[in-house]
């Protein structure tokens, strides 16, 4: 198993370089990220972040999201994190482009990200084994129901999920 480095690609003094993940968030530095949306017909697999996460614990997010390790290809990162967060194997993430956003995630931390976004098709029978250090709950939800839940209680969802669905839905999910 690959060791976690906590060094992620961030722009420091105008150059992309490996930088400590916590320092990146505390300093609000622009950095690379990866987000994955696993879809089954009109349903999306979402996860509730574990309470031990260093930011946005207990909030609902897209299927998985992370920062690539320094030198790691975005698609390899997507496949790795599906496995590490949810125990999901065998999917083929399709690149849906890049999305940029900046959001306060609490605790003096900021996500200022250039995100490689991926989608992958699955069925609700997909075996899911959440890693309790990463994910406290996962569920399938219809897109319309998710949008209604976000409208009724936005503070239950990560800032990036709210941004993705409000501003980039067609790019992420297509037609």
* Cβ-proximal residues to 34 (8 Å cutoff; 6+ apart), any chain: 65, 66, 67, 68, 74, 77, 78, 81, 115, 116, 117, 118
**List 43, 72, 84, 113, catalytic entry:** 113
Per the annotation, the verdict on 77 as an active-site residue is: no
**List 43, 64, 65, 85, catalytic entry:** 65
Per the annotation, the verdict on 113 as an active-site residue is: yes
Long-range contacts of 7-10, Cβ-Cβ distance < 8 Å, separation of 24 or more? 7/69, 7/70, 8/32, 8/67, 8/68, 8/69, 8/70, 9/67, 9/68, 9/70
By annotation, the residues acting in catalysis are: 65, 113
């Amino acid at each position: 198993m690959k060791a976690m480095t906590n060094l992620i690609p961030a722009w420091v003094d105008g150059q992309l370089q490996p930088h400590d993940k916590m320092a990146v968030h505390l300093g609000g530095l622009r950095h690379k990220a990866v987000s994955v949306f696993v879809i089954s017909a009109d349903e999306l697999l979402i996860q509730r972040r574990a309470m031990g996460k260093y930011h946005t614990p207990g909030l609902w997010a897209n299927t998985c999201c992370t920062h690539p390790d320094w030198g790691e290809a975005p698609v390899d990162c997507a496949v790795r994190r599906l496995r590490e967060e949810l125990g999901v194997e065998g999917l083929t993430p399709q690149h849906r482009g890049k999305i940029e956003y900046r959001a306060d995630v609490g605790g003096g931390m900021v996500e200022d990200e250039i995100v490689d976004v991926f989608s992958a098709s699955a069925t609700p029978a997909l075996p899911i084994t959440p890693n309790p250090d990463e994910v406290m709950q996962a569920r399938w939800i219809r897109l319309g129901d998710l949008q209604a839940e976000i409208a009724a209680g936005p503070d239950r969802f990560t800032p990036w999920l709210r941004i993705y669905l409000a501003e980039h839905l067609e790019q992420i999910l297509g037609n």
